[in-house]
Structure 1
């Protein structure tokens, strides 16, 4: 086995090793052996590259031609396992990176890919050049260097051309994204300049090329986010290519900070774009150095005249135009400032000069200073002059077409918003967010430079909110279609063309549609009748072309800029409105008010609700935030109830009835509660507006209606019971069982349990006589409680004893009368009666001893007993008279009367015993 082993020296880019091979090895075994020997644990071995090495005698022959036919030979891994003798000479192992290492070595950035491509081009060029030199015959030293130098220089030229071409393609790709034709032409010219400069400039180093590509990527990112205008972006691309140091440092710091100084970058980029590559030289000389600003301003006009208009006015014009392009100045302000610069106004020139000389000038401060000068000038104009100037500018904007851009380069900045907006409209139409009719109407308005679209684009340029701009454009398109439809209907109804109208008719029609307010319409008519030149010209143009839409736009522009003296009146309400809105926002941030409450309060504020304004006035006086929050909560509940009350009655409750969740009777009762503004329904509505839980709100309404029906049924039953008791008392009163003076109705109204129990007994037995006595006692007890304030069970027991004693006294009086009527013949019977009476008296031993004292405490019972005694005496007298008249008949019926008397006494005795038993039972 040892004779079959072949030793092979393997090499790699970083290591060498010698291994022994034998025929018949497995490819996997050989691969593991090679990977372990050369320390490539993660790579895959695919084969070997074998290069033939000639002998030493052949190499020592300097005058013979080198063999050019010797080429390396590839030996696969499987062949090397079978015939290891093929691996003779210089053997190089062919490794291939594994999938994991390949994934980690992928180039992630565009710059690295470019770098790899450049290196591959250089390697191919060098290898081709070396192969060419290898095949050529040997030359002398000076001839060899002379012939090879241009070819080596071609390597650097190729690298420079490649860098320039990549930069030019990057610039062209940025320019093709622009919607402005002028910007595209400017960027394409810059790309051509880049391609033409490679032969004039020095060799660009690799790191310089990498930094330039990074800065170009930053500018592309800013343009994609609409943070820079397209014109400024083109200027910045030119500055980057020309290697402006200030811009390079700014963009490099921006890339290092990873976007934290976006505002500073935007400001510096705009300033550099306006100023240009070359720094502005200061105007002031050493003579006026150290002088005050006021002296410098006084000498400004003299300095301008000395330098000449052309030497100084061009940069000022560019600076003001750039401010208008950034939407920091309106068209009217731009025209006024240009006129002031042409007139060499020293205030405007001095402000612009100071801004250019300062290193850290603020664009906002410059804009505010220029606008203040314009406002001072416009305040001196009258209403007619201001309206005329506004109208003249509006007409100029309306009739100006887009194709005029190709003929004029001075007003190119003012048309940028039109191109950008047209580009956005095309995108939104492709995305089907705008219809074709909307896009057509909006493009027509863009071509006419409508003030609404210009204002909307200025807001978009400030905050960059595309969704808000899209919503505004949709609303404007809808409004425009409605206006055109109304105009078409008006023309169709009149049956006459638009040329038959005049300016007054158009103003009145706009006022009727709500486009113009009454004050604005009156102001326009006053200007028109006052022979205002602008309105007269508009009227003549309208009669000439009959374009109602153009006339309406002209009138709206006049109203917008004239304002008819309402500037100062509108400032204060706006400030007041902003303060109230800020206060409501603070309440929402602190969770004192919910979102729906704040929205409802904002609607009340817009409608100038007097309750809300009164609450705000009180808050301004006392500054009590807690009281204001409580007041606003109450006001919101009241306003929400006022808004939804009718909906609950008309829509919500009938819907619940139709779907079967609420019966009809309960729905009617719930409607009554809503009309009466029941607190429970109001609370349910407030909870529903807070959480927007419809199911819980419906369930609450159903529960409230069910509970209300139960309470109504209970009240109805109580009323029926009370009426029944009162009817029973009336029956007892008619029968003479109780007195009218007794407050029985008061007991019924108070729902006394005793009266209710007696009512139940009356309903069960239908015996009014038996119910009268306990009712009489209850009424008497109520009177005594009211007079003496005595309440308790003991009082009831004593009252029963007194009534039993009164009954015994009446029985005694009847017995005495019978005794006088019977005469002497009945002495024996009378004795028996007296004995029975004694028995009855002895039966009263259970009556308490304090009964006499109790009688003194109760004078009403004594008076009743006294009246009973008088009635008995009268009956006795009448009995004596009857006895004298019928003396004979009396003797005959003595026996019968004795028997009846005995029976009566027995019955009364039983009654007294029953009363005593009841008293004992009550005591227990």
Structure 2
């Protein structure tokens, strides 16, 4: 707030001085002028100020300055001298004929509120400050005040309600809650949606999955219509619940009961809220009230939830059993779902609850949700090799199949057949989950896959060559439709073979048209081609007349329809041709070696889905014809697409098995998961390399190295982890596996690390910083050699002193250490740095000196003994 300017108004019956601060709202200034000058139906629009001239040169005909109200609010210092207020009647604006304007509802409510307050102020004779305070409080709670004033309470109660806002201490009785005005039965879906979204947001803040399910169930419930006051109060309470969760002052088990109390509009809670709204300084009391009410309602809410859970569990058991009977679930999936229902799994119960409460939830959608839960579970605890294979082939989910395995007598052709059958089964299930295939069509195709149908095998061979999933899906849909029609006809009546003698190609086409296998345009086009002498249809007709095979003729007709494209517009053909040209360009880049096979497959799939990035890259290449820039852009897009397809599978397919096999250092798995979520460049590069060469061992080694490096980089862990030996030993094991360090050297280094040898720990820190394994191996060998030389020299010197003097060897050792320390002190005084090699040289010199002295003393003793013998 800026400085306050005191303005004295002239031309009024009594002298009035106003204190106007810089930045005051025009509405507030108008209210202040209305109270100060005591006018009701007029509005202050500005001020008149005399010109700023010298007194001696002031002219009588000087023109005063008119300052608008908005300018005076921003710069009140302009109001100097004899200031006069410009008052204008508050008349409604006039508009040209034919133009209708609507006054906003907020302005009408504000006018109603001002009229009520002006009447109360004139009757109670309140002071100017009390008037300003009352108007400010009423404007903050205008919805509450207007709703109370529009109710059916008496005039005295309404007056007491307004005076209580100004002087709550004068009213010792209970808080008066006036009956609200009757609302219309019209429900505002926007408000209900906002409340539901707020409740769902609260549910996502809770850690417990069971509580999340309860909160999400509350967000989907239908409660009674909220009027204006209840809506604003409900949102205020929900915001308070979020604040308590953020401050960790409300437990997860109290969230659902508290939300239930808010939605049920608990009377005690609403009175506490009204008391808080009248006195904004009592938030702690409102929070305590919410907590206490939630704790009291917890037992009742748990009992209601426990009464609903057995019903959901029983309903879930009957549903999954029915799905298994209809061949919609495998035996393995049934066993896992029954086990999850027995444990009251929150995800499964939530799926059952959605199916129970939502009318648009179909059985197929429920089955897909349950299968997704089972897939996630089996992928977490499944075979690592199967997950790696599925990941390498670009599958986000593991292929759910019964591992019967090939027989011992299978040839290579049978193994190839099992491969295409397995992959096609996976594609069928994936399309069924994506609602691309109906359940009936998927069931029919699964049976045909089990029967090794030649049409499916041929379609898969085309798909393996062209990698066109859209064409494969279209072919499978047509084949399934034809197969169902044939099965239905066979179920109605089994026709003897002699009935086909009188059939012709035209009869077969009309039967297919009546059964819905062929559309009217396709049937007309086939007949036109047949009568026009089409060679393919003539050959098919001759073959049919020879062998009377209706099924083979129908399959031939469907293939002709597929390639002829009767009745299709030229726009679709042009789009298909354009797609073929762009796809051919990408395949050409793959054939020339500029792009890998996996990159071409991903880019073609993006091109089919009309990805704007790939289309823009192709358009830029067509304009500029810069092949290098085009290839670089495609490589980047392929990396992004690969990460979008396979990034989330790294955690389940690779990091989880590595964590279970204890190949990662402590905290390495969690750190790798964080790197995957943050899309670390090293992990992305490792994924791209793996997709290129499919080398699983190299990919695993890369993840382990990244985990070790990240573990060493953690805060305060570089030296501590080395001392503890966990990360250091893991790195030593890796160096041993790569034959940089031998097993004997690893054992010696391990002993030094566990003992806390400072030089070896420093070498490990250098290795973590520089990643130079060869340098670390050389340093470790020099440290080990130095320690070995020291040990040998100490033992030799001690033995020599023992032989010479016959005393305790510690005496000689102490002398060596004193000489060694003395030499080191002299070297430090000269300002030289002592390295490991210099220490070794000093120690060697001392050892040689000791040997020479010992030899000389030995000779002197022998000479003395010889002299004594001669005497």
TM tier relative to shorter chain? under 0.3
Instruction: Indicate the structure (1 or 2) with the bigger Cα radius of gyration.
Output: 1
Q: TM-score, normalised by structure 1?
A: 0.25
